Structure 1
Amino acid sequence: MFFALTDDQREFGTAVTTYLAERFDLEAVRGVVEDAAGDGHPAALWKAAGEQGWLAVTVPEEHDGLGLGLVEAQVIARALGAGVAPGPWRGTVLAAEAIRLAGSPEQQAAWLPRLASGAAVGAFSLRAGRTAVEYAAVADVIVVRDGDGLVLVERGAFTAEPVGSYDGTTRLATVTVDGPGEALPGAGAATVADLTARATVLVASDLAGVAREAITRTVAYDREREQFGVPVGSFQAIKHALADLHVGVTMAEHAVLYAAHTVDTGAEGADLAVAVAKAKASDAALAATAAMIQYHGGIGYTWEHEAHLFYKRAKRLAGQFGDADAQRARIAELTIG
Structure 2
Amino acid sequence: MYFALTEDQRDFGAAVRDFLTGKFDTEAVREVVEAATSQGEAGDGHPAALWQAMGEQGWLAVLVPEEHDGLGLGLVDAQVIARELGAGVAPGPWRGTVLAAEAIRLAGSASQQRDWLPRLAAGAAVGALALRGSTEDGWPAVEYAEVADALVVADGPGLRLLRRDEVTTRRLDSFDGTTRLASVVLADGVGEPLPGGTAEVHAELSARAAVLAAADLVGGAREALTRTVDYDRERKQFGVPVGSFQAIKHALADLHVGVTMAEHAVLYAAHALDSGPATDPDAALAVAVAKSKASDSATLVTGAMIQYHGGIGYTWEHEAHFFYKRAKRLAGTHGTADNHRARIAELTIG
TM range (shorter): over 0.9
Counterpart CA distance in 2 for 1:90 and 1:328 is 24
Matched, 1:73 2:86: no
From 312, 317, 321, the counterpart of 1:299? 312
Cα offset for 1:321? Answer: 1.1
Matched, 1:154 2:155: no
Counterpart CA distance in 1 for 2:62 and 2:49 is 19
Q: Which residue of 2 aligns with 1:91?
A: 96
Q: Which residue of 2 aligns with 1:102?
A: 107
- Counterpart residue type for residue 4 of structure 2: A
Counterpart CA distance in 2 for 1:177 and 1:261 is 36
Cα offset for 1:180? Answer: 1.2
- Counterpart residue type for residue 276 of structure 2: G
Deviates more, 1:211-220 or 1:119-128: 119-128
Counterpart CA distance in 2 for 1:263 and 1:147 is 24
- The 5 A counterparts of 1:205-220 are 205-220=215-230
- The 5 A counterparts of 1:183-262 are 183-262=193-272
Cα offset for 1:181? Answer: 1.1
TM-score (norm 2): 0.95
From 267, 272, 276, the counterpart of 2:285? 272
Q: Which residue of 2 aligns with 1:173?
A: 182
Cα offset for 1:240? Answer: 0.3
Matched, 1:311 2:324: yes
Counterpart CA distance in 1 for 2:21 and 2:260 is 22
Deviates more, 1:264-273 or 1:308-317: 264-273
Can you list the C-alpha shifts for 1:263-313, whole angstroms capped at 9, x where unaligned?
A: 011075000000000000000000000000000000000000000000000
Can you list the C-alpha shifts for 1:130-166, whole angstroms capped at 9, x where unaligned?
A: 1220000011110001111110001111011101000
Counterpart CA distance in 2 for 1:317 and 1:100 is 25
Counterpart CA distance in 1 for 2:317 and 2:112 is 46
- Counterpart residue type for residue 162 of structure 2: V
Counterpart CA distance in 2 for 1:54 and 1:234 is 40
Counterpart CA distance in 1 for 2:274 and 2:335 is 21
Q: Percent identity?
A: 74
- Counterpart residue type for residue 3 of structure 1: F
Counterpart CA distance in 1 for 2:172 and 2:295 is 24
- The alignment yields a C-alpha RMSD, in angstroms, of 0.8
Cα offset for 1:6? Answer: 0.3
- Counterpart residue type for residue 315 of structure 1: K
Q: Which residue of 1 aligns with 2:296?
A: 283
Secondary structure at 1:169 match in 2: coil
Counterpart CA distance in 1 for 2:200 and 2:160 is 16
Q: Which residue of 1 aligns with 2:145?
A: 136
Counterpart CA distance in 1 for 2:48 and 2:334 is 28
Counterpart CA distance in 1 for 2:186 and 2:226 is 43
Structure 2 gap ranges (5+): none
Residues paired across the two proteins, number: 337
From 338, 346, 350, the counterpart of 1:325? 338
- Counterpart residue type for residue 24 of structure 2: F
Counterpart CA distance in 1 for 2:337 and 2:84 is 22
Cα offset for 1:51? Answer: 0.1
Q: Which residue of 2 aligns with 1:20?
A: 20
Counterpart CA distance in 1 for 2:192 and 2:239 is 67
Q: Which residue of 2 aligns with 1:49?
A: 54
TM-score (norm 1): 0.99
Counterpart CA distance in 1 for 2:256 and 2:94 is 27
Can you list the C-alpha shifts for 1:19-59, whole angstroms capped at 9, x where unaligned?
A: 00000000000000000220000000000000000000000
Can you list the C-alpha shifts for 1:83-117, whole angstroms capped at 9, x where unaligned?
A: 00000000000000000010000000000000000
Counterpart CA distance in 1 for 2:308 and 2:165 is 48
- Counterpart residue type for residue 263 of structure 2: E
Cα offset for 1:232? Answer: 0.3
From 103, 122, 126, the counterpart of 1:121? 126
Counterpart CA distance in 2 for 1:320 and 1:138 is 20
- Counterpart residue type for residue 33 of structure 1: V
Counterpart CA distance in 2 for 1:296 and 1:52 is 35
Structure 1 gap ranges (5+): none
Secondary structure at 1:331 match in 2: helix
- Counterpart residue type for residue 191 of structure 2: G
Counterpart CA distance in 1 for 2:76 and 2:69 is 19
